[in-house]
Amino acid sequence: MDLTEKRISGEEKYNGVIISVTLDKVELCDGKQTLREVVHHPGGVGVLPLDEDGNVYMVRQFRYPVGAPTLEIPAGKIDRHDDHLDTAKRELSEETGFSADEYIDLGCCYTSPGYTDEIIHVYLARGLHKGKSHLDEGEFLNVEKMPFDELFGMVMRNEIIDAKTVIAVSKAKLYLK
């Protein structure tokens, strides 16, 4: 069965700083019509930086939407025209000061394809070289160093629940074993 839904018309409901929202009228595969809300997002990248001693460098920051600090891999949004790997290199440098000799592609994820087009690419970075971090205006975070195995334990015990971080750590564990 072809499940394709076709756009009939659409209306922009919100045009913000990072996201915009449209409400489209669509035709379902049975010919009936319904409404689909879509949150449009530029997409992002996440990087798990792993040094030669088996330590990773994580970022603790306050996440206003969930009202709490979270521990996540260094990450950021894709600027228009930038590619994923360039964004990964830039965000790793901005947030932690590190550059890396090797970026291993761990794949990507749709964060929530029921209502948003956001896609995040994740990398494992190895061969780290320390430089100086340089955060964006209004960006505050702490970098925390820990053994990869400790981080993996935190993911499996549900102490870290940011989706891109869970995916990067789980895939890295399966990749590295």
The pairing of beta strand 68-72 with beta strand 55-63: antiparallel
| Burial status of residue 8 (CB atoms within 10 A of its CB: 0-12, 13-18, 19 or more) | exposed
Question: Which amino acid type is present at position 68?
Answer: A
| Three-class DSSP category at 44 | strand
Is 41 a binding residue for a second copy by CB under 8 A? The answer is yes
User: What CA–CA distance (Å, rounded) separates 148 from 54?
Assistant: 6
Is 36 a binding residue for a second copy by CB under 8 A? The answer is yes
Nearer to a second copy, 21 or 146 (CB): 21
Is 28 a binding residue for a second copy by CB under 8 A? The answer is yes
Question: Which amino acid type is present at position 37?
Answer: E
Closest distance to a second copy from the beta carbon of 144 (Å):
12
User: What CA–CA distance (Å, rounded) separates 115 from 10?
Assistant: 15
Token pair recorded at residue 129: 């070289």
Q: Which of 8, 86, 102, 113 binds a second copy (CB under 8 A)?
A: 113
User: What CA–CA distance (Å, rounded) separates 103 from 70?
Assistant: 24
Closest distance to a second copy from the beta carbon of 85 (Å):
15
Nearer to a second copy, 13 or 129 (CB): 13
Stretch in the footprint of a second copy (CB under 8 A) among 50-58, 64-72, 95-103, 124-132? 64-72
Q: Which of 130, 147, 149, 161 binds a second copy (CB under 8 A)?
A: 161
104 with 123: CB under 8 angstroms?
yes
Q: What residues make contact with a second copy under the rule CB under 8 A?
A: 1, 3-5, 13-14, 16-19, 21, 23-24, 26, 28-30, 32, 34-39, 41, 44, 60-67, 69-70, 72, 77, 107-120, 138, 140-142, 156, 158, 161-164, 166-167, 170-171, 173-175
